[in-house]
Amino acid sequence: MCGIAGWLDWERDLTRESGTVRRMADTLARRGPDDSGVWTATRIGLGHRRLAVIDPELGRQPMTERGGDDGRELAVVSFSGEIHNYRELRTELTARGHRFRTASDTEVLLAAHREWGPRAIERFAGMFAYALWDIAEQTLYLGRDPLGVKPLYYAEHPSGLVFGSEPKALFASGLIRPEVDAEGLTDVFTVAAKRPGDAVYRGVRQLLPGHLLTVRRGATTARRYWQLTTAPHEDDEATTVATVRSLLDRIVGEQTVADVPLGALLSGGIDSSAITAIGARALAADARGPLATYSVDFAGSEEDFQADALHVSRDAPYVRAVVDHVGTKHSEVLVEPASLLAESGVTLRARDYPGVGDLDVSLYLLFREVRRHLTVALSGEGADDAFGGYPWFASEAERPSGGFPWSAGVKDRNAVLSPELRGHLDLHERLEARYREALDEVPYLDGESGVDRRMREVYYLQHTRFLPFLLDRKDRMSMANGLEVRVPFCDHRLVEYVWNVPWRLKRLGGSEKGLLRAAVEDALPAEVVHRPKSGFPVGQSPEYLESVRTAVSDMIESDGPAMRLLDAGTLRAMVRDQAWVNGTFTPPPILPRALQLDDWLTAYDVRVVL
């Protein structure tokens, strides 16, 4: 999947700064353990850490394009991710006279830019982020995929900007330091409420999904090349079901292309099971099967598991049903409770800011084990967002909450904040403002009202606020292990079709994701097709819960840096009463996140600016 980094400076000679650019790129070594490269010119330096997936021998980066009789360099790119339709584009470009020396999608990107200029990005289907320097134009192009599957951060400085796949690359330049203000702390203390482009740190931005940033001397402009477009849905039920299946067959087929070992993550839910079944068929058609699959569970879950709002059943029986039905080569990853707290620091450094506790760690540990066998894994992430899988979809259709749906019912967000911080930050007020901003963006259908209008809002909030949170988590935990995780349900061609399907069709049969279930029911056992939504496993063992309580008590007594932001009395009550374990996602348990906050402020030497 790779990591990219770079530095643009209109006043400094960067041919003398290759060491700095390399240092920036090397902070991303976990993203790209296979190779590294640096390219510098007077005004720019590009760095790259490579995870070799397609054309391992010849696809090294930064990659340059040469042309003319003298073979001069025309452009150079540092690219992360995959362009899944690159074979189709390569065929078209070859017909237009382009010649290729590699089999990589990176070279297709360069040729596409030469042929179509900056509008080439509109032709890409995939998950990607790239920095392309057009040498003749002396122009930098930063591009990001339509859904924002791959990250790209940047920060301006007085004479240019620095950029990278993660904030740590920017900090390594020495031009940006870790600072957080009230807006950033809002991102830390809430979940899935970031405004698009927010990056926690003051002065640091994320390139918006579906955008291309063009940087010339004296002018920086952002252009939106893709967005959700609202239009009447005119297909009948049968055509809608068939179209969804056809899109999935095409997209999953494209995403099984790799020159390295590939498999799938399998939970036994409809999302991952659908990807597994379709992926297995695609591999079998090319005589590349069987598909390797992996699931995660907690040691002792047979005794410790307790059903709650988001976890209605254990995964294991449904995983086995899919494995037996599809015929995959399956492995189960067991997470030991002690690891959940022990690896918390690793996941913090993968994110560069506090995450969601054991939800991050268990995913990280799953990916660590999978990486021992695979380089690429298919995931069902994004199906709940596109088809309406979370319980709050049905709740909003019946009784709109008037806020972010996944946050409904949270009574006092400020209780955990210290008295001093409460004087500068009201989380309820800020989330209300962010919610209103989000609604102002919704592209309604003319005449839309009632349930259909509210569900249009819910799906928009889901795609622009909640899904980015999930994709960030997936990216950081997988790339911390050098594992590329592909997400077919986040392909923009599928998302833009399902976006306009009305709520009644998405809920075929009266069940969540009814449309998806109908589209894949022929490929899966009945008990899996009809299994209700059950979330990613969480730590419920008494051993883990006690270790968190002890660690938080020690943090309070030692008066760590987080205690300037947290209320000691509230935390003590949570430790005593276990009020932090509520069996829902809204919010995730605060105590593990409080521990990460303390670690973050120290390890990153974060300056709080209020």
Q: Any long-range contacts for 87-91 (C-beta under 8 Å, 24+ apart)?
A: 87/257, 89/123, 89/124
Distance in angstroms (rounded) separating the CA atoms of residues 335 and 536? 13
Which amino acid, residue 365?
Answer: L
User: Over the range 490-500, which residues count as b (16 or more CB within 10 Å of their CB) and which as e?
Assistant: bbbebbbbbbb
**CA nearest neighbour of 55 among 21, 19, 4, 101:** 101
Kindly give, in sequence order, each residue whose CB lies less than 8 Å from that of residue 92, ignoring residues fewer than 6 positions away: none
Mapped onto helix, strand or coil, the DSSP state of residue 188 is helix
DSSP state letter for 35: E
**CA nearest neighbour of 131 among 33, 257, 37:** 37
Kindly give, in sequence order, each residue whose CB lies less than 8 Å from that of residue 246, ignoring residues fewer than 6 positions away: none
Q: Is 2 a catalytic residue?
A: yes
Instruction: Give the up-direction half-sphere exposure of residue 206: CA atoms within 13 A in the CB hemisphere.
Output: 25
The torsion angles phi and psi of 208, rounded to 5 degrees, stand at: -65, 145
Six token digits for residue 322 = 């899919």
| 594 CA to centre of own chain | 23
- Selected catalytic residue, list 1, 2, 111, 265: 2
**CA nearest neighbour of 9 among 208, 110, 151, 155:** 155
DSSP state letter for 417: B
What angle, rounded to 10 degrees, do the helices at 590-603 and 344-351 form? 60
Within 10 angstroms of residue 186's Cβ, the number of other Cβ atoms is 24
**CA nearest neighbour of 161 among 330, 3, 5:** 5
Environment class of residue 603 by beta-carbon count within 10 Å: exposed (0-12), middle (13-18) or buried (19+)?
middle
- Give start and end residues of each alpha helix (H) in 521-589: 526-529, 542-558, 568-577
Distance in angstroms (rounded) separating the CA atoms of residues 187 and 153? 16
DSSP state letter for 463: I
Instruction: Identify how many contiguous H helices and E strands the chain contains and give both numbers.
Output: 25, 19
β strands within 1-52, DSSP E: 3-9, 35-40, 44-50
Kindly give, in sequence order, each residue whose CB lies less than 8 Å from that of residue 348, ignoring residues fewer than 6 positions away: 354, 355, 596, 599, 600, 603
Instruction: Give the up-direction half-sphere exposure of residue 132: CA atoms within 13 A in the CB hemisphere.
Output: 29
For tokens 């090294």, what's the residue? 60
> Are residues 37 and 47 in contact, defined by beta-carbon separation less than 8 angstroms?
yes
Kindly give, in sequence order, each residue whose CB lies less than 8 Å from that of residue 370, ignoring residues fewer than 6 positions away: 263, 265, 294, 333, 377, 481, 483
* Residues noted as catalytic: 2
